[in-house]
A = this chain, B = another copy of it.
């Protein structure tokens, strides 16, 4: 299996984290999947991803003190593999794991994803659990010095045959369940280890091997960022997507900063290889964090975010509770012209970038379409121009379509100019 074929375009979907934090349950997942199937699927949205701690009992019982309860009760099988919390995911009782839920998602024509922390549960190591199909025990493969800096559940797995056997047993289980996508956390940047932030690189390789071994095309997504540019070649070899920033939320500062990360990673988007700008905190978010709210992004900022993610080629994962999606937000997610840039056939290129503005172009090598993005990063309305020479030497007088407003445009003397509101953008297609 060539992992670059698992996701021939940047994955689009929904993720439970931004709205539910650790608390999502089966019914809620299904409701979001239903909405996606009914309203978004036709635009390319297809993944439904259950995020962190689906294996924890009453994970929010101490939410005022801890996001993840230290030494809390986790659902775990005899081989040290985490299982869905039966209370929140009743269909998993009887030892069926996520299979019933995955079946349901598949029945809607969608794909099913789960989040995992790299490693093996600390509890399994301290209890000397068996590793399936081997005669070793968990304490022999767990590295007590390899922990996550923010979640207390796991120990890293050693780079040994027995360690690989554990990951094989894990991925085989997921394949049996019907998982199509795993978001592995604490692995892309093990930020606890300030001097060795890629300390789990062997676990990336082991998970890749386990996917190959299980014979199911499971998309591999790595978190958290920022990924290290020095490791781009390694990420491209073993993973499908990897986070290029730390957690992204609905703050202009973070959005503005994303332009710097896209600047750095622009050459690294290709089929099956997607630098990941993180989830889209749109619509209603934050309930599980005890801060339910409409996204704090203005409409201008939301356009800018969608445009940058699409021009750059990032995966799109919705953080919104879909069942509460308003009409305007829905329109943002279903702009076919904007979404048409989201393909590895499009080659993005930053033309200019400073504190005040960013200019990007994107060229579809297949359709020969050309796109231009003018972003106003400043705090005031601004006239922003791009010279057609930066795109193609000969074209001077061109007609363009602005893809949000659907207005037609002309370049004058080889220069495309727009007056843009603060934090807003214009995205043109050359006609």
* Chain A residues engaging chain B, CB cutoff 8 angstroms: 2, 70-71, 122-123, 125-126, 128, 139, 142-145, 147, 149-150, 152, 194-195, 229-230, 232-233, 237, 263-264, 266-268, 349-351, 353, 393
Q: Which B-chain residue is minimally distant from A267 (CB atoms)?
A: B267
A194 touches which one: B139, B195, B350 (CB < 8 A)?
A: B195
Q: In the complex, A263 Cα to B237 Cα: how many Å?
A: 13
Known A144-B147, A145-B147, A194-B195: A230·B264 in contact at CB below 8 Å: yes
Query: B142, B232, B263: which contacts A233 (Cβ < 8 A)?
Result: B263
Closest chain B residue to A349, Cβ basis: B233
Complex contacts, A123 vs chain B, CB 8 Å: 126
Q: Are B143 and A70 in contact (CB under 8 A)?
A: yes
Query: Given the complex, which residues of B lie within 8 Å of A126, measured CB to CB?
Result: 71, 122-123, 126
Q: Can you name 15 A-B residue pairings with CB atoms under 8 Å?
A: A70-B125, A70-B139, A70-B142, A70-B144, A71-B142, A71-B144, A126-B126, A145-B149, A194-B194, A194-B195, A229-B229, A233-B266, A233-B353, A237-B351, A267-B268
User: Quick one: copies of this chain in the complex?
Assistant: 4
Kindly list chain B residues whose C-beta atoms are within 8 Å of the C-beta of A195.
194
Given A122-B144, A232-B267, A237-B351, 19 additional A-B pairs, CB 8 A: A2-B393, A70-B125, A70-B142, A71-B125, A71-B126, A71-B139, A126-B126, A144-B152, A145-B149, A145-B150, A145-B152, A229-B229, A230-B263, A230-B264, A233-B266, A233-B349, A233-B350, A233-B353, A267-B267
Residue of A2, A71, A349 ringed by the most chain B CB atoms within 10 A: A71
Closest 8 CB pairs of A and B: A144-B152, A71-B139, A267-B267, A194-B194, A126-B126, A70-B144, A233-B350, A229-B229
- Chain B residues with Cβ below 8 Å from A232 are 264, 267
Looking at the complex, which one of B128, B230, B268, B351 makes contact with A71 (CB distance below 8 Å)? B128
Q: Of all chain B residues, which has the CB nearest A389?
A: B2
Contacts of A237 in B (CB 8 A): 351
Most chain B CB atoms below 10 A, which of A126, A143, A144, A237: A144
Closest residue of B by beta carbon distance from A125: B71
CB distance from A211 to the nearest CB of B (A): 15
For A233, list chain B residues within 8 Å (CB): 263, 266, 349-350, 353
Residues of B within 8 A of A152 (CB): 144-145
